[in-house]
Structure 1
Amino acid sequence: MQVIMLGSRSHPASKTIEDDLKVLSVGRLRTERSGLSSHILHLQNEIGDLAFNNYRTYADVGRTAELCKEMFSDMSETMSELKDEVPDLVQNIKQFYSESKKGAAELSTLQKATSSSNPLWDLFTLPNMMEKCIRAGYYDAAYSLTNYGAQLEQQNLTKNPVVRMVVDVLNNARHGLLDELFNKFSGPVDLATGIQVVNNIRKIPSISPTQLRVTILQYRDMYLEKQIIAVMSEPNFLQRAIDIYRECMYETMVLYLAVFPENDFQKRFDMITDPRWEQWRPAPQSVLLQQWALRNLNRLFEHIRLTETKKAVDMNDMVSKLMTFAYSFGRMGLDFRDLVINEFDNIFKTYFSCKVEAATMTLTNDAGVIDFVETSVSSSTAPDDDTVPDVSMEINQWDALCVYGNEILSALNDLRQNLSIIQLNWCVKVLQMSFKSVLLWLDRLMNSQHNEVVMKATSLFIKVFVPFMYKNLQACFAYEKCFRNVFRSAVTKESFESHYSLLNDTLFAQCVHRDVFLEAYHSCQEVLPNEDTITRNITNEPIDLKGDGTTAAQAITTGHDEAGY
Structure 2
Amino acid sequence: MDFENDRISKLIFPNGIPDNLKNDTELFTYLDKLGTYKIEQLKKEQSRLADENRAIVEQTQDLAITNYKTFIKTSECSKKISDKFKETEESLDKLIGILPNVTKKCQDFIGTSSEINTSRRLNSLTLKRNAQLLEILELPQLVDTCIRDGKYEEALELAAYVQRLGLKHSSVPIVNSIVVTIEASWHTMLKQLLGQLKTDLQLPKCLQVVGYIRRMQAFSTAELKVVFLRARDDWFMQTLSNIPSTDTHQHLMKTIELTRVNLFNIVTQYKATFPDDEAAKDRFGSTIFSWLHRKIENFLQTLEVDLKHGVNSIDSILGQCMYFGLSFSRIGADFRSLMVPIFVKVIFNQFQNGIYKSTKQFEVDIETYTLINKVIINNSREKSESVDTAPPDSLLDFHPLAVYCNGILTSLNELRHCAPIALAENVTNSIQSSLESIAVFILNFYRQEQQAFATNERANFMKFCSCFAYDMIPYLQRCLHVVFEPAAVTNYLGINEIALQKAGITFLKPKQIMEPVQHLLPDKVETIVQNSEKKILEEVKV
- Distance change in 2, residues 1:121/1:448 (3 Å): farther
Equivalent residue number for residue 211 of structure 1: 223
* Equivalent position to 1:254, from 268, 274, 277: 268
- Distance change in 2, residues 1:131/1:331 (3 Å): same
CA distance in 1, matches of 2:214, 2:227: 13
The answer to whether the aligner puts 1:388 opposite 2:400 as a matched pair is no
The answer to whether the aligner puts 1:242 opposite 2:256 as a matched pair is yes
Equivalent residue number for residue 144 of structure 2: 131
Q: Which runs of 5+ in 1 are unaligned?
A: 1-107, 267-281, 538-565
Q: Decide whether the 8 Å contact of 1:356 with 1:430 is kept in 2.
A: yes
Equivalent residue number for residue 329 of structure 2: 330
1:285 positional shift: 0.7
CA distance in 2, matches of 1:202, 1:367: 76
1:527 positional shift: 1.4
The answer to whether the aligner puts 1:526 opposite 2:527 as a matched pair is no
Deviations 1:293-318, CA, capped at 9 Å, x for gaps: 33333333333333366456x32222
**In terms of Rg, which structure is larger?**
2
The answer to whether the aligner puts 1:415 opposite 2:427 as a matched pair is no
Query: Structure 1: which amino acid aligns with 2:275?
Result: P
Equivalent residue number for residue 380 of structure 2: 379
Q: Decide whether the 8 Å contact of 2:354 with 2:408 is kept in 1.
A: yes
The answer to whether the aligner puts 1:397 opposite 2:397 as a matched pair is yes
1:421 positional shift: 2.3
Higher relative contact order (CA 8 A, sep 6+): 1
Q: Secondary structure at the match of 1:141?
A: helix
- Distance change in 2, residues 1:508/1:207 (3 Å): farther
Equivalent residue number for residue 355 of structure 1: 354
Moved more, 460-469 or 340-349: 460-469
Moved more, 326-335 or 490-499: 490-499
Deviations 1:28-58, CA, capped at 9 Å, x for gaps: xxxxxxxxxxxxxxxxxxxxxxxxxxxxxxx
CA distance in 2, matches of 1:495, 1:506: 17
Q: Secondary structure at the match of 1:261?
A: coil
Query: Structure 2: which amino acid aligns with 1:210?
Result: A
1:184 positional shift: 2.7
Deviations 1:58-90, CA, capped at 9 Å, x for gaps: xxxxxxxxxxxxxxxxxxxxxxxxxxxxxxxxx
1:473 positional shift: 0.4
CA distance in 1, matches of 2:328, 2:156: 37
- Distance change in 2, residues 1:359/1:320 (3 Å): same
TM-score normalised to structure 1 length: 0.60
TM-score normalised to structure 2 length: 0.62
CA distance in 2, matches of 1:507, 1:152: 93
Query: Structure 1: which amino acid aligns with 2:381?
Result: S
Between the aligned residues of both structures, percent identity stands at 19
Q: In the TM superposition, what are the counterparts of 1:151-550 in structure 2 within 5 Å?
A: 167-233=179-245, 236-265=250-279, 283-307=282-306, 310-311=310-311, 314-365=313-364, 368-372=367-371, 374-377=374-377, 378-381=379-382, 388=388, 390-442=390-442, 444-450=444-450, 456=462, 460-483=467-490, 485-486=491-492, 490-493=495-498, 495-496=500-501, 499-500=504-505, 501-503=507-509, 522-528=526-532, 530=535, 534-535=539-540
Equivalent residue number for residue 13 of structure 1: none
CA distance in 2, matches of 1:514, 1:210: 73
CA distance in 2, matches of 1:429, 1:517: 25
Q: Decide whether the 8 Å contact of 2:383 with 2:392 is kept in 1.
A: no
Q: Which runs of 5+ in 2 are unaligned?
A: 1-118
Moved more, 212-221 or 301-310: 301-310
CA distance in 2, matches of 1:318, 1:466: 33
1:424 positional shift: 0.3
Higher helix share: 2
1:127 positional shift: 4.1
Q: Secondary structure at the match of 2:282?
A: coil
Q: Secondary structure at the match of 1:262?
A: coil
CA distance in 2, matches of 1:336, 1:171: 46
- The alignment yields a C-alpha RMSD, in angstroms, of 4.3
1:141 positional shift: 3.2
Query: Structure 2: which amino acid aligns with 1:465?
Result: M
The count of residues paired between Structure 1 and Structure 2 equals 406
1:232 positional shift: 1.8
